[in-house]
């Protein structure tokens, strides 16, 4: 199986999604738009590397406890399954930072989640923490012309803090809509390569890795839809492994320091934007139960050793090298699948297999093993275009002997896992990317099993040897496959596909509405490599 994704944001906007592989790092409307500007000149910044871990602070104490109990090379891990926990643990790590915070994200939206995390990052930088922030530069062509200027002005505002530096991955040289259209048409092979990584590293001792971008739907704060997503929080050597990946990107020829945009901001403008950000957060109803001010993370962090599973890890990533991307993640995923002897469990939001994946499933099941796969249904999909190409693989997957499940848009677990009170989303979709082999080894990361992740995007993930963590993740996966949360897809005696759940049986793929079915038909005409 292979991998991809584009941005999956609002439903029923699939034409736009051909270009919406998109981070919109704008702190929406906080800063005024700037006037048109000439194309920027690429700048290679000076090399800069992660600060070595210190021997002070909560993370150092936890790591010392892990090392004493389990030996060198072992990290402690906690699964971050609930969206609310995805937000709260990020806030806790930011608040606990003593020395450094490194952030690498495909998407950082200027919504409630994005603004709250930005505010807490500012608070850390205010107390002397060095912050490095690397975000993908792809911006949508469907936004109004002013939004590009707003985004650039917002990142310049963040970059203006003396302890905070922002760099853009694979930037446009043109910073205006019209120029980007021309550049996109003339340089599509380069601009189609996007940094899909998601990682946070704090003090080079703690990290959060997985599938979550920074945005409301990833943190349970979106009233239209929220994802069921997955991260893993790790303390120990795994953080240094993630730092090595971050540094490789941070110092690559693919990045541009925001300072090179040449945007000038007055001290008064910068101060006013901080005040406006705080005011916006106070007015945001979805954050009513989330602390806006920095908190003492001592109590939460003190619980981690007792909550953790322990094991050795390897963090891998596709890597930018010169003017190309060295794609290694696909082979890493395939190698892990090939290790399966008894059981393979896969949860992945966007699946468009290739023959290798089908052959591997057939080999596992033919040798007496078991395999189970959970992905999105058309009904839970935020991107029906992916379903348009996945659906032809349903029968081949089932015919290998694998069990195939598709997430319901109304899973019973939605309130506990997807939504963050007081938000209640209209539907829930799947965004997790994880695999468990033989209840011994775990993969959690950013890579979808479709063409874009395999050949266009950069991806990263962590491979962990830990029977305890594997058993815990397998339990979460099986929960997602329960009839209250998903449909099991099978063939009847006539070879027809049927979808069964505790709500009954359906004889055509479930959808939320007729428009989804129209989209599903329409996007079959586009090449699957786009997705």
**Where along the chain do its domains lie?**
58-306, 313-530
CATH of 58-306, one of 3.40.50.1820, 3.30.870.10, 3.10.450.50, 3.30.70.270: 3.30.870.10
Ranges of the chain whose pLDDT falls below 50: 1-29, 32-36, 140-146
Name the superfamily (CATH) of residues 313-530: Endonuclease Chain A (3.30.870.10)
Residue 233's DSSP bridge partners are 78, 208
* pLDDT value of residue 119: 97
Backbone angles phi, psi at 447, to 5 degrees: -85, 120
pLDDT at 38: 65
What pLDDT was estimated at residue 236?
Answer: 98
Predicted confidence at residue 148, as pLDDT, reads 66
Q: What integer pLDDT is reported at residue 139 of this predicted model?
A: 56
Identify the pLDDT of residue 163.
Answer: 98
Domain 58-306 and domain 313-530, same fold? Reply is yes
pLDDT reported for residue 19: 33
pLDDT of amino acid 528 = 76
CB 446 within 8 A of CB 210: yes
**CA-to-CA separations, 87 to 290, 384, 452, in angstroms, rounded:** 9, 27, 27
For the residues of 491-518, what is the DSSP string, one character each? E-TTS-EEEEETTEEESS---SSHHHHH
pTM of the model: 0.93
Rounded-to-integer distance, Cα 103 and Cα 131, Å: 8
């Amino acid at each position: 199986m292979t991998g991809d994704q584009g941005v999956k944001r609002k439903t029923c906007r699939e034409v736009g999604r051909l270009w919406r592989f998109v981070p919109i790092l704008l702190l929406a409307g906080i800063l005024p738009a700037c006037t048109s500007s000439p194309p920027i000149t690429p700048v290679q910044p000076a090399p800069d590397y992660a600060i070595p871990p210190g021997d002070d602070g909560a993370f150092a104490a936890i790591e010392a406890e892990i090392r004493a109990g389990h030996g060198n090379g072992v990290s402690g891990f906690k699964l971050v399954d609930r969206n609310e926990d995805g937000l709260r643990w990020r806030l806790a790590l930011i608040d606990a930072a003593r020395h450094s915070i490194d952030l690498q994200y495909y998407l950082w939206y200027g919504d409630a989640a994005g603004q709250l995390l930005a505010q807490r990052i500012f608070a850390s930088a205010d107390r002397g923490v060095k912050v490095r922030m690397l975000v993908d530069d792809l911006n949508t062509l469907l936004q109004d012309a002013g939004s590009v200027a707003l985004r650039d002005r917002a990142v310049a505002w963040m970059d203006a803090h003396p302890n905070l530096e922002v760099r853009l991955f694979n930037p446009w040289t043109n910073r205006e809509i019209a120029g980007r259209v021309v550049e996109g048409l003339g340089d599509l092979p380069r601009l189609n390569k996007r940094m899909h990584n998601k990682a946070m590293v704090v003090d080079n001792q703690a990290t959060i890795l997985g599938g979550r971008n920074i945005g409301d739907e990833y943190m349970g704060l979106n009233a239209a839809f929220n994802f069921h997503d997955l991260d893993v929080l790790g303390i120990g050597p795994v953080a240094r492994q993630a730092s090595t990946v971050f540094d490789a990107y941070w110092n690559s020829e693919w990045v541009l320091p925001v300072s090179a945009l040449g945007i000038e901001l007055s001290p008064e403008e910068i101060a006013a934007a901080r005040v406006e950000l705080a005011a916006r957060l106070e007015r945001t109803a979805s954050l009513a139960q989330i602390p806006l001010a920095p908190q003492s993370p001592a109590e939460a962090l003190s619980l981690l050793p007792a909550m953790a599973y322990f094991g050795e890890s390897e963090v891998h990533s596709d890597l930018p090298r010169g003017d190309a991307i060295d794609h290694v993640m696909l082979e890493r995923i395939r190698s892990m699948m090939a290790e399966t002897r008894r059981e393979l469990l896969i949860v992945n939001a966007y699946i468009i297999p290739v023959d290798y994946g089908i052959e591997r499933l057939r080999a596992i099941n033919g040798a007496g093993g078991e395999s189970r796969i959970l992905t999105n249904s058309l009904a839970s999909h935020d991107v029906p275009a992916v379903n348009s190409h996945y659906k032809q693989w349903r029968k081949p997957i089932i015919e290998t002997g694998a069990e195939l499940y598709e997430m319901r848009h109304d899973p019973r677990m939605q309130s506990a896992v997807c939504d963050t009170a007081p938000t209640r989303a209209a539907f829930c979709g799947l965004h997790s990317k994880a695999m468990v082999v033989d209840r011994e080894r775990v993969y959690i990361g950013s890579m979808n099993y479709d063409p874009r992740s395999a050949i266009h995007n950069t991806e990263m993930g962590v491979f962990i040897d830990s029977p305890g963590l594997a058993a815990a993740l397998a339990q979460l996966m099986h929960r997602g496959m329960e009839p209250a949360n998903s449909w099991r897809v099978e063939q009847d005696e006539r070879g027809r596909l049927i979808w069964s759940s505790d709500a009954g049986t359906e004889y055509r793929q479930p959808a939320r509405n007729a428009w989804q079915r129209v989209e599903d038909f329409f996007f079959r005409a586009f090449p699957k490599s786009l997705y």
